[in-house]
Structure 1
Amino acid sequence: MEYYISEVEEVRQKLGLEKFYLAGHSWGGLLSMEYALRYPEHLKGLIIISMIDNIADYVTHLKEILNDEFASYQVEYMSDTELRGEYQDPAYRKYIDHMYKEYVNRKQPSKMSHQIDIQSKPVYNTFQGDNEFIINGDLDGWDRSNDIHNIKVPTLLTFGAHETMPLATAQRMQKSIPNSRLVITPNGGHNHMVDNPEVFFTNLRRYFTDIFQGKFGE
């Protein structure tokens, strides 16, 4: 965590930015919160995309959506497979692929087909685990829910209506962060900027417009 926070700060210094807007999605949203709490003097504003302020609520929500999507014997099968570490089990991969299509990338647009996967799997596995629907890495236990009230800059919280992060926690965050706004993208998963870009970028544009016009928080 210290390494990645220091990387963001190093980029700021190299670019010569005294103050700037910071946006982060998912893990990037977590990192953005950490940076905002460490270096508030350098931020003009904060945009947290599909990330809540603690892992425990995320784990609880994952269990809820798994129980919504699958029969109890299927959930038990997935749990047993994870305990054995057999993440390439064909039936397990089928269940996980279903969850990705429902809660992460709902639209699967063809324009994404050109993208190259540059994710560092060892880093992801160390922090998260094998996939988005299990947490057994270093992030397990992460919690900033008692600290986010110290984030004072204009903050946009943007989430998909049908995603991995619990919206109830997002609503509580909006109440905790003094100068914040929560927006929900309809029919959007965890990557709701891709699922419903018209709504996502309209909300993003309104965030900046209202700040520049002195209307944010009204």
Structure 2
Amino acid sequence: MQLPLDFRTAVDQWWSPPSLEVAERQVLSFLPFYPEPDATRKAESLAVELSPGRIINEFEITRTTEESTDDLVILHGYGAGLAFFYRNFNRLSSVPGWRLHALDLLGYGRSSRPRFRIKAADKYDAVYKAEDWFIDSLEQWRIKKGLEKITLMAHSMGGYISVAYALRYPERIKRLILVSPAGVPRDPFVVHDDAAYERAMAPTVESTISELTTSQRETTQPRPDPLRTHPVAKAELKRPLPKWLVFLWERHVSPFVFVRYTGPLGPQLVSMWTSNRFAMLPKPECTALHDYVLGLFTARGSGEYAITRLLAPGAYARIALIDRVKNLKVPTLWIYGSNDWMDSSAGDRAASIMRANGVPSECVIVDRAGHHVYLDNPAMFDKVVTRQLAQVRGIAE
């Protein structure tokens, strides 16, 4: 098998990996307003300090011809970074009244990469603590920036985290735009005890609790927190996956260790993915993205270790979003590619559940696009998103 990256170049990149800062700047330099501003926009990379030694890397785009009254926050997916949206920044930042904030999640990209360590009583507790690891840093960033309410657009795992954030802080979200979000459908290899879940969530006698005796009050169980309650698994079926894969997954081994610790083979493995993923792009952009991805994959492992807490082997959520959206109270758009490997029918069902609860929600399919919808068909993707931005501002199309 002939690898896209020749061995000599692979050795050079292994011995001296591309600087992530330089690689990010190179990808973003394809924009017409960065590093130098154009007639209507300016952009800058920011290191937003959350606490001593902990920062969030942000790429902020501001319009210079009018005041920005709305803020669009953009989050990437697993193993990615904020520069993946470089093909969308130009069109989205052309919409009057909007300021863009593309972020590297904590533990990703050029944000701080602290050691990912959580202590959990069980796998469900681990899910909530892994979510909190990202939610807390995102909320800290919002407070540091002084943003009252935001529109939040996020891809894949970033979409999953955004739902968890919106469940916790619905008052901070104007609209959610979920781009091929991870973790929506239930895991087909888990048998759930729905009856027990419904009993746990049934209305309690809170209205009459004042009439109870002291001993009765002490033995009365309070209603579970709907944001921290989940269907219980009665049984788990055997997964059609190699045993070694399940073994490594459940022991939280990151897939990126194979890039970090295989010598010159690491850059070659990355080139196999980047040469295929970005094949439709001009050569200079493909090369810049390869260097960027290699920098992302070889940097210190951190937030990537959350994935095995949030998802079971096979990439199904341990606590599916489909069981949580009934508590989601913010207008939501679900976007999928026509060739997406994510289950768009699950997004459609989620939107239906939300509408039944009186919350505006719809599911849109972007033609000629896969999981990275925004990269595969940026023109159609941007059209769908700018329509949403107009609705947020109450502007007729």
* TM-score for both structures, normalised by structure 2: 0.41
Distance 1:108 1:58 in 2: 34
Q: Secondary structure in 2 aligned to 1:48?
A: strand
2:306 to 117, 120, 127: 127
Q: Do residues 200 (structure 1) and 372 (structure 2) align?
A: no
Identify the residue that residue 69 of structure 1 maps to in structure 2.
none
Residues 112 and 179 of structure 1: is their aligned pair in 2 closer, same or farther, counting only changes over 3 Å?
A: farther
Residues 198 and 211 of structure 1: is their aligned pair in 2 closer, same or farther, counting only changes over 3 Å?
A: same
1:169 to 330, 335, 346: 346
Identify the residue that residue 155 of structure 1 maps to in structure 2.
332
Distance 2:316 2:302 in 1: 11
- The aligned length equals 188
1:50 to 147, 163, 180: 180
Q: How far apart are residue 209 of structure 1 and its match?
A: 1.3
**1:89-142 Cα distance to aligned partner (Å, 9 max, x none):** x9xxx9xx69x95xxx4764233431202246744653346xxxx953997513
Identify the residue that residue 82 of structure 1 maps to in structure 2.
245
Q: Secondary structure in 2 aligned to 1:44?
A: strand
**1:189-208 Cα distance to aligned partner (Å, 9 max, x none):** 11010000011000001111
Identify the residue that residue 186 of structure 1 maps to in structure 2.
367
Q: Do residues 20 (structure 1) and 199 (structure 2) align?
A: no
Q: Secondary structure in 1 aligned to 2:177?
A: strand
Residues 184 and 154 of structure 1: is their aligned pair in 2 closer, same or farther, counting only changes over 3 Å?
A: same
Distance 1:35 1:165 in 2: 21
191-200 or 110-119, which deviates more: 110-119
Distance 2:342 2:377 in 1: 17
Distance 1:194 1:9 in 2: 27
Residues 211 and 83 of structure 1: is their aligned pair in 2 closer, same or farther, counting only changes over 3 Å?
A: closer
Asked if 2 retains the 8 angstrom alpha-carbon contact of 1:106 and 1:189, the reply is: no
Asked if 2 retains the 8 angstrom alpha-carbon contact of 1:127 and 1:138, the reply is: no
What RMSD over aligned residues (CA atoms) do the two structures have, in Å? 3.8
Residues 125 and 108 of structure 1: is their aligned pair in 2 closer, same or farther, counting only changes over 3 Å?
A: farther
The 5 Å alignment of 1:2-151 reads 2-54=132-184, 56-57=186-187, 79=242, 82=245, 105=277, 108-110=280-282, 111-115=285-289, 116-117=292-293, 118-119=296-297, 122-123=301-302, 126-128=305-307, 135-136=312-313, 140-151=317-328
2:136 counterpart letter in structure 1:
S
From the two aligned structures, give the one with the greater strand fraction. Answer: 2
Residues 23 and 153 of structure 1: is their aligned pair in 2 closer, same or farther, counting only changes over 3 Å?
A: same
Identity %: 25
Q: Secondary structure in 1 aligned to 2:245?
A: helix
**Unaligned regions of 5+ residues in structure 2, if any?**
1-130, 191-239, 249-254, 259-264
Asked if 1 retains the 8 angstrom alpha-carbon contact of 2:149 and 2:171, the reply is: yes
1:173 counterpart letter in structure 2:
A
From the two aligned structures, give the one with the greater helix fraction. Answer: 1
Q: Secondary structure in 2 aligned to 1:158?
A: strand
Asked if 1 retains the 8 angstrom alpha-carbon contact of 2:322 and 2:346, the reply is: no
Asked if 2 retains the 8 angstrom alpha-carbon contact of 1:53 and 1:173, the reply is: no
Q: Secondary structure in 2 aligned to 1:114?
A: helix
**1:66-105 Cα distance to aligned partner (Å, 9 max, x none):** xxxxxxxxxx8x73663686x87x9xxx9xx69x95xxx4
Asked if 1 retains the 8 angstrom alpha-carbon contact of 2:150 and 2:174, the reply is: yes
Identify the residue that residue 40 of structure 2 maps to in structure 1.
none
Asked if 1 retains the 8 angstrom alpha-carbon contact of 2:185 and 2:346, the reply is: no
**Unaligned regions of 5+ residues in structure 1, if any?**
61-75
Residues 210 and 182 of structure 1: is their aligned pair in 2 closer, same or farther, counting only changes over 3 Å?
A: same
Compare CA radii of gyration and give the structure with the larger one. Answer: 2
Distance 1:106 1:168 in 2: 27
Q: Secondary structure in 1 aligned to 2:288?
A: coil
1:79 counterpart letter in structure 2:
P
Q: How far apart are residue 57 of structure 1 and its match?
A: 4.8
